[in-house]
Structure 1
Amino acid sequence: MDAFELNADKRSATGRAENKRLRKSGRVPAIIYGGNGDPVKLSFNHNDLVHHLDNEAFFSHIIKIHVDGGETEEVVLRDLQRHPAKPFVEHADFLRIVAGEALRMHVPLHFVGEEECPGVVDEDGVIQHNMNDVEIECLPRDLPEFIEVDCSKLNLHDSVHLSELVLPKDVQLVELMGEEEEQNDLTVVTVQVPRAAVELEAEEEAEAEAEAAEQAEAEDAEEGEGDGETGEDEDGEDK
């Protein structure tokens, strides 16, 4: 896959005051760590970084960072800190990659075939996404941008589990790598009855149960009144 590219400046000063100064000047403090090298503190042009973040593939892609116009680091984005109220990136963490060393990454899921899904087209169901991404393990050269989930043949109440995903060669799902594979075989997507229909059915069942209970109470009351209207005395004569 083609790598994204970013230009970065090294930074030596650290601390809140320095990071605040960088942000005011339109730059984002960041760090590269891991692999076979020492951590490197950097800063990026904010608008340049945000432009790349608009591309979904940036989050699961190899990124080439050119430091001070010279040395180049190959990394993946590990963490991103955004301002809680404003559209600003406050800090970025990048993990250095090593060519022959496996890495773990979250990659997005792309759901395809929803428009022709029988459970939706023919049975009036709705598709529910239980996951939007999955964690995988692979070598950097095998890192996929996304994983497709085929929904084209799902009927009502059908689902797709992690074990049913079609993965690229030499890519593994982290959830299914342990001893509890069956327990971790989570549902990725399912076709369900629309929530409104479920709620309507529940309301109708509740109303039917209430009517049945009222009718039973009325019948019990009528029987009680009938038992108290007539009777016989000890001599067998009517009272």
Structure 2
Amino acid sequence: MAKSHEIKVVRRDVQGQGASRRLRHAGVVPGIIYGGDREPAMVQFNHNEIWLAQFNDWFYSSIIDLNLDGTIHKVLLRDMQRHPYKQLIMHLDFQRVSDNEVLHASVPLTFINEDTSPAGKSSDVLVTHELKEVSVACLPKDLPQSIVVDLGELKAGDVIYLSNLKLPAGVEIPALKLGKGHDDAVVIAKTAGAEEAPAAE
């Protein structure tokens, strides 16, 4: 089970664009908590705390404990709006999760042992990471912070697909239930300069 992280939030009583602008000028980020069997809660966050948190992978893929007036809301980040050019977070959406309900989330991939693999040691082989994250389904207690992809045995010509990933217990990739056409490549090792076979006309 991935470690959960706690962030304190404060209930937001005022709404509207004007109120949100005032909050941002005061170093506060407006946001909302929704889902589950509770009413949506309009909240606000300390901008500096959120700004530091958003540099971590767990902020996007792990369950976060939002502490609102002493009540813990277990949530996943669903949307974050950023200013187009300023270092400023404009708004946050968090969705509550239930311990007994399957959730869908994007989990980052962590690649290891590429440098020591036969493909990684060869100057003639180009290793490309086709995916950086994968969409999974699982109970909240089983949500991994990342999925490790061991490239230690990778050789020229190898392709690692979604179906080849070693998933933690209780975790599945829904796309694989849709058929072989959804078994996307995760890593490709091909000889540098090799061209793809032309598609049939």
Both structures adopt the same fold (TM-score exceeding 0.5):
yes
Matched, 1:40 2:38: no
Q: Which residue of 2 aligns with 1:115?
A: 115
1:93 maps to what in 2?
93
User: 2:172 aligns to what?
Assistant: 172
Q: Deviations over 1:10-29 (max 9, x none)?
A: 11221111111111100001
After superposition, residues 126-145 of structure 1 pair within 5 angstroms as: 126-145=126-145
Instruction: Tell me which residue corresponds to 2:83.
Output: 83
**Paired position in structure 1 for 2:28:** 27
Structure 1 unaligned regions, length at least 5: 200-239
Tell me whether 43-52 or 1-10 shows the greater mean CA deviation: 1-10
2:17 maps to 16
The alignment partner of 2:131 has SS state of coil
Cα shift at 1:198: 5.0
Q: Distance in 2 between matches of 1:22 and 1:102?
A: 35
Question: Which residues of 2 match residues 153-192 of structure 1 at below 5 A?
Answer: 153-178=153-178, 181-192=179-190
Identity of aligned residues (%): 37
Match in the other structure for 2:198: none
Residues 50-61 of structure 1 aligned to structure 2 (within 5 Å): 50-61=51-62
Judge conservation of contact 1:77–1:95 (CA < 8 Å) in 2: yes
Q: Is the 8 A contact 1:27 1:44 kept in 2?
A: yes
Larger radius of gyration: 1
* Residue in 1 that maps onto 2:103: 103
Deviation at 1:36, TM superposition (A): 1.3
Alpha-carbon separation, structure 2, partners of 1:120 and 1:112: 11
Q: Which residue of 1 aligns with 2:63?
A: 62
Runs of 4+ in 1 over 3 A off after TM superposition: none
Question: Structure 1 length normalisation: TM-score?
Answer: 0.78
SS across alignment from 1:17: helix
**1:31-53: CA deviation from partner (whole Å, max 9, x where unpaired):** 11111111111000000111111
Higher-RCO chain (CA-CA 8 Å, sequence separation at least 6):
2
Deviations 1:46-90 (A, max 9, x none): 00111111211221111111113x222111111111111111111
Extract unaligned runs of 5+ from structure 2.
Answer: 196-201
Task: Assess if the C-alpha contact under 8 Å between 1:81 and 1:89 holds in 2.
Answer: yes
Q: 1:177 Cα deviation (Å)?
A: 2.6
Size of the alignment, in residue pairs? 194
Q: Measure, in 1, the Cα distance between the counterparts of 2:184 and 2:95.
A: 28
Cα distance in 1, alignment partners of residues 20 and 142 from structure 2: 35
**Greater fraction helix:** 1
For structure 1, which segment, 169-178 or 137-146, has the greater mean C-alpha deviation from structure 2 after superposition?
Answer: 169-178
What is the CA-CA distance between 1:2 and the residue it aligns to? 2.8
**TM-score scaled by structure 2?**
0.92
- Tell me, in whole angstroms, the C-alpha distance in 1 between the residues paired with 2:61 and 2:115: 27
RMSD over aligned Cα, in angstroms?
1.4
Higher strand share: 2
